[in-house]
Amino acid sequence: MRIRALVLVASGAVALSALAVPTAQAATAGPAVTFSSLKVNSGKNIVVGSTAMVTVSATYTVTKPAGLSASSFQTGPVLYRGATLGLNSDDLLGGDAPGTCTASSSTVLKCTAKIQFRPKGSDEDGDLFSTEAGTWKLGALAANTHDSGMTWQGGLGTTHLQRRSTLTVNASPEPVKKGKTITVTGKLARANWDTNTYAGYSTQPVKLQFRKKGSSTYTTLKTIKTTSTGALKTTTTATADGYYRYSFAGTTTTPGVSAAGDYVDVQ
């Protein structure tokens, strides 16, 4: 198990990676709170490139007893994998700081927080490996400010943590005579968080599309698969002036992407 990134407090802010709850304190009760309405990145997938840290916002609601002071605990959203959420979760990701909450009543807090995602690579502070792209569950954590008590709540939704993708296209020859063959090449790649580079995405279905000059709509001509290095190559017949592009629908681990159209003059 690896616990990385956030989090909260037990007599001051501590990172989860450094958190060690002594056996004698393990039974300390956490704050009597519940979480709801958690939304991370406005409900959109989280896409991370090869090097730069990505920070997304989260909003959530905390419900507490009227007599429990909001200053007696801190909270934050977390992403996790595995059957349950807690210190024994298979993987756990959170932000660098606790959330900020505003009371909307004596029992309800409206909160916001930030979650940071860093490709591992050679960065000792990085926490993402390429194998960790995919579906993550959403949960939240509350920690007492005066002792080690923690409250965990999972099952608050899911999100996709994805490796940013790129797609290129080149159609040739340009210009070309009507009825002649056009060769269209390109490459589909995605971020490798382990090496801080972009690498070809192999054996993925990609559509070759055409948009006639003066039109705003692309039409799919055929679907081909990338090679083991992410390369694309196919041919089509020149019929009219227009733009050729490749378009990738995406997977759980990688967002969809379309190349900018490459214009071909047909004579």
Q: Is the pLDDT of residue 15 over 50?
A: no
Q: Is the pLDDT of residue 232 over 60?
A: yes
Work out the average pLDDT over 236-252: 98
β-strand pairing of 158-163 with 134-144? antiparallel
* Mean pLDDT over the full length of the chain: 89
Burial class (CB in 10 A: 0-12, 13-18, 19+), 258: middle
Say which amino acid occupies 93: L
Alpha-carbon gap, residue 60 to 46, rounded angstroms: 17
Phi then psi for residue 27, to 5 deg, are: -90, 0
Paired tokens of 178: 């009507």
Work out the average pLDDT over 72-80: 96
User: Tell me, what's the pLDDT at 1?
Assistant: 30
Radius of gyration of the chain, Cα coordinates, nearest whole angstrom? 24
Of 83-92, 235-244, 255-264, least confident by mean pLDDT is 83-92
Q: Is the pLDDT of residue 175 over 80?
A: yes
User: Tell me, what's the pLDDT at 8?
Assistant: 45
Query: Where does the pLDDT of residue 148 fall: very low under 50, low under 70, confident under 90, or very high at 90 and above?
Result: confident
User: Tell me, what's the pLDDT at 123?
Assistant: 60
Q: Is the pLDDT of residue 83 over 90?
A: no
The answer to whether the CB of 89 falls within 8 A of the CB of 81 is yes
Strand partners, 75: 142
User: Tell me, what's the pLDDT at 27?
Assistant: 55
More confident residue, 50 or 146: 50
User: Tell me, what's the pLDDT at 122?
Assistant: 61
Alpha-carbon gap, residue 129 to 30, rounded angstroms: 31
